Amino acid sequence: MQLFVGLGNPGARYARNRHNIGYMAVDRIAEDHGFGPWRARFQGQAAEGRLGGDKVLLLKPETYMNLSGNSVGEAMRFYRLTPEDVTVFHDELDLAPGRMRVKQGGGHAGHNGLRSIHSAIGPEYRRVRLGIGHPGHKAAVSGYVLHDFARADADWLDDLLHGLSDGANDLAGGDSARFANAVALRTAPPRPAAKKPAGPAVEPAVDRPAKEDTRTPLQRLVDRFR
């Protein structure tokens, strides 16, 4: 069994915040892949289903971001999972909006949700880093992540979430490359090959009848010696 965790804060007030893109990711997966209903479990909301051949529990901690590890740790203990069975979807300031990266282990880079999970289960879980961009100044970060996505973000956000869902089976199967490719097909689809410009029209070769020679024998003889 695997545990897919979407990070965010509970309640309608935060639902469209940039900080809640992890919630949005697992909501999209649950809807597209026919997961069971969301139920209150493990200090959060959980839904069960299958991705490919793997049983997966989707979890949205409701402890608020700073205590996400409490919820994740409880679910792991109940199912006797290891950190390698856990994948966390979270917002990433250091990636441009709409970009995605998969990372196994490593630091928390100051992300409060990851910091809490580190404290609860250690660093060896997998992360799906979802780019939201950076406001440009460290002092503006808190207000930026706790602000709703702009209307102009709607298209790339929808493409990203559908791409995550498209590749969810591959992610559960451990094929991060195929998962990333599925996301890229949504967020950066290949451009159609450019058509070569048509060249100048070429008049087709036509066999034309030879022009009749109307010269007299004497004129033809004179022309030969000119």
User: Of 17, 13, 20, which is closest to residue 144 (Cα–Cα)?
Assistant: 17
Q: What is the pTM of this model?
A: 0.84
The catalytic residue positions are: 19
- At position 122, the amino acid (one-letter code) is G
Residue tagged 């087709």 (tokens): 204
Residue 180 predicted with pLDDT over 80: yes
- pLDDT value at residue 77: 97
Spell out the domain ranges in the chain.
2-187
- The residue behind tokens 């493990």 is 42
**Averaged confidence pLDDT in the chain:** 91
Helices 112-121, 68-79: inter-axial angle, 10-degree rounding: 40
55 Cβ neighbours under 8 A, 6+ residues apart: 1, 2, 48, 49
Q: Is the pLDDT of residue 74 over 70?
A: yes
Higher pLDDT, 196 or 148: 148
pLDDT of amino acid 108:
92
Measured between alpha carbons, how far is 226 from 209 in angstroms, rounded to an integer? Answer: 27
Tell me the per-residue pLDDT of 119-147, one tens digit each, with 9 for 90 and over.
999 999 999 999 999 999 999 999 999 99
Pick the CATH number of 2-187 from 3.40.50.1470, 3.40.50.1000, 2.40.70.10, 3.40.50.2300: 3.40.50.1470
> What are the DSSP calls for 137-198, one per residue?
SGGGHHHHHTSBPPGGGHHHHHHHHHHHHHTHHHHHTT-HHHHHHHHHHHHSPPPPPPPPPP
Tens digits of residue pLDDT in 201-214: 555 544 455 556 66
DSSP output for the chain: -EEEEE----SGGGTTBGGGHHHHHHHHHHHHTT----EEETTEEEEEEEETTEEEEEEEE-S-GGGHHHHHHHHHHHHT--GGGEEEEEEETTS-TT-EEEEES---TT-HHHHHHHHHH-S-SEEEEEE----SSGGGHHHHHTSBPPGGGHHHHHHHHHHHHHTHHHHHTT-HHHHHHHHHHHHSPPPPPPPPPP----PPP---PPPP----HHHHHHHHT-
